[in-house]
Amino acid sequence: MNQTAITAAVRRPMPGLGVYNVKLGMWVFLLSEVMFFTSLIGAYIILRFAHPDEFAAPGVVLNVPLTAVNTFILICSSVTMVKAYAAIERNEQAGLKLWLTATILLGSTFVGVQVYEYIHLIQEGFVATAVAYAAEGGPLYGSTFYLMTGFHGLHVTLGVLALLWILTRAVKGVYSSQNLGGVEAVGLYWHFVDLVWIVLFTIVYLI
Amino acid sequence: MNWLLEPSVSTFGPDIDRLYYIILVITGIVFVLTEGLLIYFLVRYRKRPDRRAEYIHGSTRAEVLWTLGPLVIVLMLGFMSKPVWDRAKDPAHFPEDALELTVSARQFEWESYYPGAGGDPDAQDAFSILNRVHVPVGEPVILHLEAEDVIHSFFVPRFRVKQDAIPGRTIPVWFEITEPGEYELGCAELCGIGHYLMDGVVVVQSRAEFDAWRAEQHAAALGGTGAAQLAGSGDLDGAPADGPVAEGGL
Amino acid sequence: MSTPTAREKTDWDIPHYAGDHHEELSFIRKYVFSTDHKVIAVQFLVMSLVFLALGGFLALLMRWQLGFPGQPLPGGTLLPETMAPGGIILPEFYNSLVTMHGTFMIFFAIMPLLVGVFGNLLIPLQIGAPDMAFPKLNMASFWMAVPAGLIMLASFWVEGGAAGAGWTAYAPLSASGDFTGVYLGQQLWLLSLFILGFSSIAGAVNYITTVINMRAPGLTWFRLPLTVWALFITAVLVLLAMPILAGALIMLLTDQTIGTTFFLPEHGGEPLLWQHLFWFFGHPEVYILILPAFGIVSELLSNGARKAIFGYHAMVLAIAAIAFLGWIVWGHHMFMSGMNPMLGTTFMVTTLAIAVPSAIKVFNWLGTLWKGNIHFHVPFLHAAAFVALFIIGGLSGIFMASAPVDIHIHDTYFIVAHLHYVLFGGSLFAIFGGIIYWFPKMFGRMMNPFWGHVHFVGTFVFYNLVFFPMHGLGLEGMMRRLYDPTQYAWLADLQPWNVFITWAVFGLLAVQVVFFVNFVASIWTGRKAEANPWQANSLEWSVPSPPPHGNFEAMPIVYRGAYEYSPPDRKEDFILQNEPPRDPVGDRVEPEPQPTGGLEGSE
């Protein structure tokens, strides 16, 4: 090896994406989540195409206006999450805590409305199981509906818990403009869950 | 260890077998060459005190060569396989005017349903038999394969026929057999505790024999005495559960 | 270090190099709930060797029934009445054996051996990192795998026995206990794999982040050892495939328990949906089980031959190509399922295409040996056997890739032969070789080479005696998962072969005892290993055996690729990746030590 080659070898650009580990790890994890929801949504699409008469027309069984409002609430929570991150980027501790609290409240509201919706649907006979199904369409409709929305709801719930944890740390003053990896990573997760809902709302409720 | 296949007795069977032997020859040659080269290198370049491995990192020409070589071979195999596959499996290529039957699988038996003499599956003289399928020789046959509980797989090795039976679906299977005889039928998909007991027989008869047998069955179905008349006729393993079922229609 | 302050301030634990301060750890923190990747690798090794032995034992029970159907198993009266009354294996227990042998071997032996053991051990060591990006997540990954395995194991003793619908759990057989008599066993099977999925995904997130972000300065992508490449691409497959399985498992579980109808056709469910989901996961899974072995074998062959891996870039591209094609071939498992024959043609073409990168790999391995100076150490022998057996497994795959030929051999012992040539002749030989090769980095000692040779020769011979005749059984039409082949007249004639294979299995398993004894004994009595006993190039050989907590005294700097064996300007026939280059001119260029992104805070 001659000298230029050695120099070139040593001066090779550094590996790494310039993204710190926690953020990169969250992005990688979200790819996995994409595949998880792909399997659920893919199953729904296949089943619905194969058996269209097992599914009711939009708005017949499901309460679209209520869910539209709920969707709006979730989108708002993404906005407040962005606000929280922007606050800590500027090192505003009070802003961080305020917007985190707002996000948690909006997220909890979403879950609450979903539970309310479930209770009403179940009372109307729209259940996941073949035995007790008594609504328009067939039990396949109920099975796929609760599978997709249920797992999304679980993700929102976990997101709220993660945000609560971030909030307690924020109260302790852990975060700063130099150290905001936790806020950003949970924020990414939150936006992802929001995005999934927009897809679900479209294909489950509107189409 | 026998690399030769037992001769097939269906019309498309020889095509499948030919393809098998072509692949056997190609893979055989590749096998001998690569394993031979491996052994040769291991012996030729074994450690010697005065030897030093050569400082070689590869060769683009070699890479191109051994990328294109296999690519050409597998593309060729793909082109040769497609028509054979279509002929055996694609309903669009199925022959017209075939004898059509329904074969239904359940834990752990096969049941073949024959329509009435007029072709009506619900007619009084329609009948069904257990673990046996009777078909005429030299004529195309289409079996409509159904499953009542779990997935089974209709496998007649000598026919080169294998098709899963899926509950909730009816899947057509066709074949035309060139030699009369009794051929064993098995289940090739794990279907539960009795998976190993799902053997059956496909009886391939001359048209005259087949017609005579079928007429007898029609009559029996009308009279409800089929089982008595045909018990123990030519069953391979003589299991009492096998054989015709006295049953009027479906 | 650009901004050490940012690094201190992040509230996530950042691994430190060995030269940095380390607090003394309690026994529990050091060996049980350890965050050290090397300890976790050893933990995975112990766990998966136990399950490997268990899987072998289950295979033996199965083979007894196939060789001597209906005869009492020697010592079989020790088994519970629900499994083998009077020592005679029941059909339902046989189905559980089939299912659990496959499940344990795939999910709890081969997969954790390749991904859990070698991924954990090699990734940080070979990229010059002090540990994984997320050490605690890594620990959690292992401690999720253990309960998953225990749940799976426990299912043997629940009412109805363990799952009996095959490791592929085809619905509707698996979707309702009414079809099999197995209720809780099947549910525990689903639950166990679901938990294992979390473990695998956690591992994959860690591996991917670590490889991208924590490579030592100078260690560019195309200087990485092929083991790291293979493990990285495998991690991507795990990351994307396991969640598909998770989704499918949930649907099957709710069908089993609360009465949903995803796969049950009475209410519109689709049995074939399970197969599509399962194999969309399952075929990438097949490559998860072989790609790391490709990496290990490349490493061992190059080291044994004292020669650079032939066509490094082609090898990387071939791994990537196989991983990519792995996503679009799943339908070949379903040629006989009654899916649209047009789809069959498409899947046939993509499947045949996989032969191309596979062939590239084999030819490059042969090219690596060409003009080498081959040291026949035990790991090398395993790698050479891998190549020999992988050729057979690869070539037999071409038969079933051709859909019309597959009509005859689908679901027969030909498939059983093929998959064992790839998974045992392939993966497991690479695993044995890899364990022996990196044993010093785990335990600081060498395994006994004499007993290593004995084990190798015995395994190679008995292995072929067991699995090669299965090709013939398949061609004669012997179906898989058959409790008693003598029930079929045309299979009864083949019984002498089944008896022969069963005896060969006894030999094969007996030889494995040699390995286990050698392994355990060498941990305490093996020869103490120096830092670089195999005279290899990659970074793990530049540190003591075993490496200290934190691995490297300080961040290593890499000057060259991992396969610079027998360089012409040097007396030795190897050169460590981080050995500074001799400077012919005299004005040495100090490299700029730029840490990777992973050790910094936010931008």
Before C80, cis peptide (omega within 30)? no
Domain locations in chain C as residue ranges: 36-525
Q: Alpha helix (H) ranges present in C182-263? A: 184-213, 226-257
pLDDT digits (tens, 9 = 90+) for A34-54: 999 999 999 999 999 999 999
Q: Find chains touching chain B: ≥3 CB pairs under 8 Å.
A: C
Cβ distance of C398 and B164 shorter than 8 Å: no
User: If residue A37 lies in a helix (H) or strand (E), which one and from where to where?
Assistant: helix A21-50
Place of tokens 């690479």: C430
C201 has a chain A CB within 8 A of its CB: yes
- Start-end ranges of CATH 1.10.287.90 in chain B? 13-92
Residue C46 has pLDDT above 70, yes or no: yes
The CATH class given to the B94-246 domain equals mainly beta
Q: What angle do CA B54, B56, B61 make, to 5 degrees?
A: 135
C71 contact partners, CB below 8 Å, separation of at least 6: C64, C88
DSSP helix/strand/coil, A125: coil
By the CB < 8 Å criterion, does A2 face chain C? yes
Relative to beta strand B127-130, strand B109-114 is antiparallel
Of residues C341, C352, C472, nearest to B1 (C-beta): C472
Residue of chain A whose Cα is closest to the Cα of C243:
A36
Q: Give C406-440 pLDDT, tens digit per residue.
A: 999 999 999 999 999 999 999 999 999 999 999 99
Q: Does C7 touch chain A (CB under 8 A)?
A: no
C172, C341, C484: residue with CB nearest B86: C341
B16 to chain C, closest Cα gap in Å:
6
Whether the Cβ atoms of residue C281 and residue C328 lie closer than 8 Å to each other: no
Confidence of residue B2 (pLDDT cuts 50, 70, 90): confident
Ranges in chain B annotated CATH 2.60.40.420: 94-246
The residue in chain A having the minimum alpha-carbon distance to the alpha carbon of residue C256 is: A129
pLDDT tens for chain A, 207 residues long, are 344 444 444 433 344 566 788 899 999 999 999 999 999 999 999 999 999 999 999 889 999 999 999 999 999 999 999 999 999 999 999 999 999 999 999 999 999 999 999 999 999 999 999 888 988 889 999 999 999 999 999 999 999 999 999 999 999 999 998 888 899 999 999 999 999 999 999 999 998
Can you tell me the mean pLDDT for C467-492? 94
> Can you read off the two tokens belonging to residue C418?
């093929």
Q: Which of A28, A180, A183 to mutate to test the interface with C (most CBs of C within 10 A)?
A: A28
Cβ-defined contact of C596 to A14 (cutoff 8 Å) = yes
Determine the residue among A11, A12, A20, A91 to mutate to test chain C binding: the one whose Cβ has the most chain C Cβ atoms within 10 Å. A20
B-chain CB neighbours of C570 within 8 Å are: none
For tokens 């690519």, the residue is: B71
Instruction: Among C362, C396, C482, select the one facing B34 at the smallest CB separation.
Output: C362
CB C407 within 8 A of CB C335: yes
Q: Summarize the confidence of residues C80-108 as an average pLDDT.
A: 95
Question: Given this model, what pLDDT does residue A131 score?
Answer: 87
Cβ separation C213–A24 shorter than 8 A: yes
Bridge partner list, B173: B143
The encoded tokens of residue C99 equal: 């299912």
Q: Domain C36-525's class?
A: mainly alpha
Q: How close, in Å, is residue C486 to chain A by CA atoms?
A: 40
Look at B194 and C489 and tell me if their CB atoms are within 8 Å.
Answer: no
Is A9 close to C221, i.e. CB distance below 8 A? no
DSSP 8-state class, residue C222: G
Distance from CA of C483 to the nearest CA of B (A): 6
Q: Which residue has the higher pLDDT, B200 or C596?
A: B200
Which one of C205, C250, C596 has the shortest CB-CB distance to A15?
C596
How far does B129 lie from chain C, in Å, by closest CA?
20
* Chain B residue numbers touching C566 (CB-CB < 8 A): 52-55
Angle at A83 between CA A81 and CA A89, to 5 degrees: 110
Minimal Cβ distance to C338: which of B51, B171, B192: B171
pLDDT tens digits, B11-62: 999 999 999 999 999 999 999 999 999 999 999 999 999 889 999 999 999 9
Distant-in-sequence, close-in-space partners of C269: CB < 8 Å, separation ≥ 6:
A47, A140, A143, B168, C171, C172, C175, C255, C261, C262, C263
Q: What value does the mean pLDDT take over residues B63-70? A: 95
Chains contacting A (3+ CB pairs below 8 angstroms): C
C239 chain-A contacts, CB cut-off 8 A: 28, 31-32, 35
Q: Topology of domain A3-206, per CATH?
A: Four Helix Bundle (Hemerythrin (Met), subunit A) (1.20.120)
Q: What is the distance between the alpha carbons of residues A177 and C520, in angstroms, rounded to a whole number? A: 52
Question: pLDDT tier at B228 (50, 70, 90 boundaries)?
Answer: very low
Domains of chain A, by residue range, sit at: 3-206
Task: Test C598 with A18 for CB contact under 8 angstroms.
Answer: no
B/e letters for A120-157, b = 16+ CB within 10 Å, e = fewer, are ebeeeebbbbbeebebebbbbbbbbbbbbbbbbbebbb
* Cβ–Cβ contact A48 with C under 8 A: no
Measured distance CA(B31)–CA(A4) in Å, rounded = 46
ipTM of the complex, rounded to two decimals: 0.92
Using alpha carbons, select from C13, C10, C598 the residue that is nearest to residue A179: C10
Q: Which residues of C touch B188 (CB under 8 A)?
A: 336, 410-412, 479-480
> How does residue C21 score in pLDDT terms, banded at 50, 70 and 90?
low
CA–CA gap between residue A12 and residue C560 (Å, rounded): 11
Is C557 in the A-facing interface, judged by CB distances under 8 Å?
Answer: yes
Give dist(CA C540, CA A134) in Å, integer: 64
Could C270 and A178 be called an inter-chain contact, meaning their C-beta atoms sit closer than 8 Å? Answer: no
- Tell me whether A91 touches chain C (CB under 8 Å): no
Q: What is the CATH number of domain B13-92?
A: 1.10.287.90
Other Cβ atoms closer than 10 A to C322: 24
> Is residue C513 helix, strand or coil?
helix
Distance from CA of C324 to the nearest CA of A (A): 15
CB atoms A178 and C6 under 8 Å: yes
Point out the residue among C181, C349, C402 whose CB comes nearest to the CB of B19. C402
C40-54, C296-310, C584-598, range with the lowest pLDDT = C584-598
